[in-house]
């Protein structure tokens, strides 16, 4: 992978595309749903210490069903 695609890499725990259960705390072991627009169709279930180069710094979204297998929550963003 090029340096360019590595430069935005970050952890789900501090990504705005990470959606967790309504009462869940944003921690490394918390499971959630990745709601980044291009990844949404994959119903990607990721824990806080997962990550990718679509990372965008921010607070996680919340939605019921975000941690299910597969996630059943409606993307909040």
For ligand SF4, the binding residues (CB under 6 A) are: 10, 12, 15, 17-18, 34, 36, 39, 46, 50-52, 54-55
As given in the structure block, the two tokens for residue 37 are 């627009």
The alpha carbon of residue 74 and the mean position of all alpha carbons in its chain are separated, in whole angstroms, by: 13
Closest distance between ligand SF4 and the C-beta of residue 23, in Å?
19
Minimum CB distance to ligand SF4 smaller for 48 or for 72:
48
The alpha carbon of residue 1 and the mean position of all alpha carbons in its chain are separated, in whole angstroms, by: 22
* Whole-Å CA distances, 73 to 3, 6, 15, 20, 33: 34, 29, 17, 9, 8
Closest distance between ligand SF4 and the C-beta of residue 60, in Å?
8
Minimum CB distance to ligand SF4 smaller for 52 or for 73:
52
Minimum CB distance to ligand SF4 smaller for 2 or for 38:
38
């Amino acid at each position: 992978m090029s340096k360019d695609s590595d430069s935005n890499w970050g952890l789900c725990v501090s990504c705005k595309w990470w959606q967790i259960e309504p009462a869940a705390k944003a921690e490394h072991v918390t499971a959630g749903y990745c709601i980044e627009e291009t990844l949404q169709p994959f119903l990607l279930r990721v824990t806080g210490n997962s990550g990718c180069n679509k990372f965008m710094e921010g607070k996680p979204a919340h939605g019921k069903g975000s941690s299910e297998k597969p996630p059943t929550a409606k993307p909040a963003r």
